[in-house]
Structure 1
Amino acid sequence: MLMDNRELIHISDYLSTHWQHPNPLFAGGNDQRSSENSLLLLFYGSLHKAAGYNWQNAGRTLIDKTYLRILGLCTRMDMQGLSTDELAARLDDFIRRELMPRWQIIRQSHGSEGLELAQELLDSASHALFEAPSMHAQTSQILFYLCPQLPLLVSEQPLACQEQLNTLPVLPRPQTFAGDAQQQALIRQLIEGSDWWRRRVLGAWRSQAERAVSPA
């Protein structure tokens, strides 16, 4: 697909403008936790905080089932008939087994150098969460917000192509951030210091293009 720079800038401007708006697909657009900014805080922010407390969470799952419900509705994720309780329990096991021991490596696994690990985690998450070999449409949606440094897109083809990312124009990006001072700093650093936002825009453009060419 040939990329349209003006369309990419338009999508980025729209997403940036609505970055802190609640998603209308959850609670009628009346719950601030469903905004894009908040999804990063609920998933990545929760793991970042847990890592600072030696991954202790008073016996609760590291990612609350409500967060998965919000993400599932906002992204129209097919949970394959699983309840949010079951998915949260499986995700907790996956985090402690696969992500916790490699958390520092994951946080540095960006660009082309992170593709191998991203593929490995997509595959292992598919088995751990959905007991299937290739549920990448679902696992990429979760990992995109859980491990935002990994070179992933929310797309039918979830691995990000660095060459394609390098050709993107300068994109408008969020300038304001939700939460307390530490939370704001965490997400600001992610947006300004990584390619997460560029991948977010590219994934949105791809999804739009894929819908446009899909048969009616």
Structure 2
Amino acid sequence: MNKETIPTWELLQKRITYKQLGQIKNKRILDFGSGNGVMASYLAKDNEVIAIEPNQNMFKDMLYQNSFIQIVGGLEELRKQKKESFDVIICHNVLEYAQCREEVVKEFYRLLKPAGSLSVVKHNKMGRVMQMVVLLNEFETAHQILDGQNGYAQDFGEIHYFDDQDICRWEKRFVLEKTLGIRTFWDLQQNQNVQTEEEWQENMIEIEERVSTISEFQAIAFFHHVFYRKEI
């Protein structure tokens, strides 16, 4: 991961996500909606990784430290993969933007080996309200989210918010194992200069990690990192 070319917010989010994933070695991993490929490259150091991403512009100029298989496409490419062929599936900041997310989740279940793990990073609706009010002064948008309306992201389009338990509703054989908060504090810090300091980043990662398991802080975190297990 090139710290010089990745924005501070993304760098922190990647580093915290790495920590939350824990050590994964000698596994076959699918990264669906792999974006710029940074996560796929990181995981490819000790694993076999297949990455699927529909937007080729997301990764066309990227250079990676580790090799992985990159496929351009979406749901149709998932359907081509062999049943029960992956130990771990990664889907980070993707499902909210997918029109066919229930079908995608069912494909994840089909592709995972028995007792395989699904890692999903997703918007937390209440955290999004915090973001609209505290950071962006978008009061009308905050009210709309509280009223149950979808949100919008400039680069990716409409955000279809869903609850952590919805994946278990779309595919009842998934079991929710744990939820961790991500991005609870650091966006609330308005001093842009301090965010580039390594000491500040280390302190922020430490406190973010500490509160990630505390329900009161999870409730206002901008994102949730949710782990599901394929029920045998």
Q: One fold, TM greater than 0.5?
A: no
TM-score by length of 1: 0.30
Q: Which structure has the highest helix share of the two?
A: 1
Rg larger for: 2
The structure with the largest strand share of the pair is: 2
Query: RCO greater where, 1 or 2, for CA within 8 Å and sep 6 or more?
Result: 1
